[in-house]
Structure 1
Amino acid sequence: EEDAATALRLPKPVRQLYTTVGDVRSCQLQKAFVVLACKDLGSPLPAGYLQWLQQKEIEATERVREKAKQVSILKLRDEILRSLPAAWDKESAANYLRETKTRFAAYLAAVALTDDALHDIRKLLKDLLYVWPYLEGVVAEIFPPQFFNRETCQQLAEKLGSFQDCCVALTLFHPDLLPELSVEERQQLVLIREVCNRRKEGERKALVDRLQLLKNEIRANMQVQTTVPVSTGNAEERSTQE
């Protein structure tokens, strides 16, 4: 019999489809960011780079079509339904929230919040938001309600998402891989990348400050040892999506 972790793991074709859809989204976000950055800088659009992004998006879209052929929605639905717990009550919700709180506090207890750690916190919050309707009436008993409710959780997840978009954007600036670009366009991409990096660092500071408030509130009610492995890698070495 499969354990819960195995039973809830999405099939490989579904995960691959999710990743390729993320690749399409990353190209679209990158184009939008470049256009906005050029407007702020008062500079012309880097035509060669945007053409490269357009081609990357076309290729990713084709991969989505191919991956989608390998996914059966009906089969996936049946697998998800089979993995659902037989019963769900207040005690089940409280146990889930206590486990989530422990993981959350463990991330916050790390010496430094790396890009990967912030990304993992975002995934944790998104998982929580997906099942929030089944946790009503219990969340306030586990988390400090004045700092952690559905609205603040949603806002924090969105800000973490914006930060992740910056991390992904930085991985898509590769002028050295585009020898056909002019020297002027390469220099322009360097400036645009600096704009993105400044935005990323500004958002990081705001996030760390906000998470510090949550950390203080959670630590006031519980003592947590960091038992959850916290990622230490650099986001620029990471692929685009989770």
Structure 2
Amino acid sequence: MKREALEEVVNRHIGKIEKCSRQLPGSFDQEDIHDLRVNYKKVRAFLRLLQLEKGAGDLDIPAKLKSLYHHCGHVRDWQLFLDELHTVAVAAKIPACMHRLNQQLFTYKEQAVYAIEITHFKKLLHGIVKGLPRQLHDNTFNKFMQQKIAAIHILLLAADNEKDLHSIRKLIKDIIYIMRICESDWGIPFPGGEWKSEKELSDMVSELGDFNDRCLAISLLQSGYSDDCDNDEKDQLQELQSIWVQQKEKQQRQLLQLVQELHMEHAY
């Protein structure tokens, strides 16, 4: 794969990030945030691949783009969290806490807007392109996959907590994003050969994502406790937290068993 094709991938996905970021202020549409974060992760996975190529320069996600991604992530987490509070009908029972939580979401939106304003996409894109290698060889795909699979295997040897599950999810997503770049951006099959269990990996990522959202919701729920909340509201939060923790523990047990059964074969 020639350098021009590498530039096309970076240009396309940075362009999508910029487009989404320009649409965010005001509405903060959840779909725009999702698309921004997915395209960021594709760029990140792609640069991790290119770092293994001989002749690659200093390839890394620019600090301001990384900051934008994290700020938008905070907004996304709080939006999903508050949506879930409404679905379980507890929101109407905790008005003081809901006011405080909505204020926190507003603060994260303000921070995200500022992060957008100080992100100069043309400049950061130039910095990334400057470090691209002259070409990307098929054996670099193999090396990338071997490293990811080896890291997953190491985690699977003793996976026993939510941190391990989160790490496994990130490694699998890197694999999937590179495969999708090959298919969607270049219209070619993955150069490293046929992946034997792509659907299994996609399904696992989805389940791990649901688990990650549950862990985040519990963490954010704990932040709802404050002096502004009366005892009745605190009791409501504690009851909901107890339910969510039980759900999380059940999910964790199931997922720890499922990841041990993952088929990480790859036809090299």
Shorter-chain TM-score range: 0.7 to 0.9
Alignment TM-score, normalising by the size of structure 1: 0.75
Specify the alignment match of 1:232 in structure 2. none
Query: Aligned in 2, Cα 1:218/1:11: closer, same or farther, shift over 3 Å?
Result: closer
1:85 maps to which of 116, 122, 133: 133
Q: Percent identity?
A: 21
Query: Residues 183-222 of structure 1 correspond to what in structure 2 (within 5 A)?
Result: 183-214=231-262, 217-218=263-264
1:138 maps to which of 173, 184, 192: 192
Query: Residues 1-242 of structure 1 correspond to what in structure 2 (within 5 A)?
Result: 4=51, 7-38=58-89, 44-110=92-158, 112-133=159-180, 134=182, 136=190, 138-140=192-194, 145=196, 148-149=197-198, 151-174=199-222, 177-214=225-262, 217-218=263-264
Structure 1 CA distance for aligned equivalents of residues 203 and 58 of structure 2: 31
Q: Shift in Å at residue 197 of structure 1?
A: 1.1
RMSD between aligned residues: 2.6
Equivalent residue pairs, number: 206
Query: Aligned in 2, Cα 1:105/1:85: closer, same or farther, shift over 3 Å?
Result: farther
Structure 1 CA distance for aligned equivalents of residues 105 and 94 of structure 2: 17
Structure 2, unaligned stretches of length 5 or more? 1-49, 183-188
Query: Aligned in 2, Cα 1:172/1:29: closer, same or farther, shift over 3 Å?
Result: same
Query: Aligned in 2, Cα 1:138/1:4: closer, same or farther, shift over 3 Å?
Result: closer
Letter in 2 for 1:85: P
Alignment TM-score, normalising by the size of structure 2: 0.69
Partner deviation per Cα, 1:71-105 (whole Å, 9 max, x = no partner)? 11112222333343322232221111111111111
Letter in 1 for 2:163: D
